[in-house]
Structure 1
């Protein structure tokens, strides 16, 4: 069972990492910033590939492994319900990041950086809250 918990934790770390990294790629893509800094960032097609072929499968694996941990350890506590709600919000944020990737590809740059900054802040807040809930396991009942 420990391998399952390790799989969940490691995939969750990678998922959150991608949710932080992808908005940076979107906001500094060559289409949105015309400086020498932009040439260091990959094309929007690479960002889309990272989102669809790396970040999304890792997110699915993190959610599946977390669900299996929940079932295997038979954890039924109020803090877990709150954690799962926060994970649903992370999934919504994941969808927002996908929309930002698509928006950057189409060249619709209006408020793109602001949305990327908001997505990054949301990811940080949600990941911090999930980490606190898991470590503190507060008595919410």
Structure 2
């Protein structure tokens, strides 16, 4: 069980780091000052590689290993339901990052920088809230 917990934490760190990287990278593509030149083939972009080969597999490993930890512990508590709700928000943010990436690769001229900033802010709040819920769990048990 400890190995699944370790795998869950490592995968979660990789997933969160890539989710913080993607909106910044996408916003960087749309700046007027610096133009990032990417290959002509839309399937060869760096941002798409990070999303499909790093962020998504890390998300799947984090969710599967977290589910295994949950099944082995057999705990159903309020903090766990709150954490799962916040993780659902993180999954929605992951999907929104993918939509921003698709919007960027269509070479649409509409600005997406403000959407990238908003997504980054929401993802940061979700990540801090997840950490707070997980670390505050022992205090909730002591107070009960």
TM over 0.5, shorter chain: yes
* Contact 1:103 1:109 survives alignment (8 Å): no
Query: Residue 110 of structure 1: SS of its match in structure 2?
Result: coil
Looking at structure 1, the residues matched to 99 and 113 of structure 2 have their Cα atoms a distance apart, in angstroms, of 13
Looking at structure 2, the residues matched to 60 and 102 of structure 1 have their Cα atoms a distance apart, in angstroms, of 20
Please list every run of 5 or more consecutive structure 1 residues that lacks an aligned counterpart in the other structure. Answer: none
Give me the TM-score of the superposition, normalised by structure 2. 0.87
Please identify runs of 4+ aligned residues in structure 1 that moved more than 3 A: 41-44
**Structure 2 residue 57 is the aligned partner of structure 1 residue 50:** no
102-111 or 86-95, larger mean C-alpha shift:
102-111
Residue of structure 2 in register with 1:60 after alignment: 60
* Contact 2:93 2:119 survives alignment (8 Å): yes
Looking at structure 2, the residues matched to 95 and 79 of structure 1 have their Cα atoms a distance apart, in angstroms, of 25
Give the Å deviation of 1:109: 4.1
**Structure 2 residue 8 is the aligned partner of structure 1 residue 2:** no
Give me the TM-score of the superposition, normalised by structure 1. 0.89
Q: How many residues align?
A: 137
**Structure 2 residue 99 is the aligned partner of structure 1 residue 95:** no
Give the root-mean-square deviation of aligned CA atoms.
2.0
Please list, as runs of the form range in 1=range in 2, the aligned pairs for 1:1-141 lying within 5 A after superposition.
Answer: 1-29=1-29, 32-35=30-33, 37-39=34-36, 45-137=45-137, 138=140
Looking at structure 1, the residues matched to 5 and 67 of structure 2 have their Cα atoms a distance apart, in angstroms, of 10
Looking at structure 1, the residues matched to 76 and 15 of structure 2 have their Cα atoms a distance apart, in angstroms, of 25
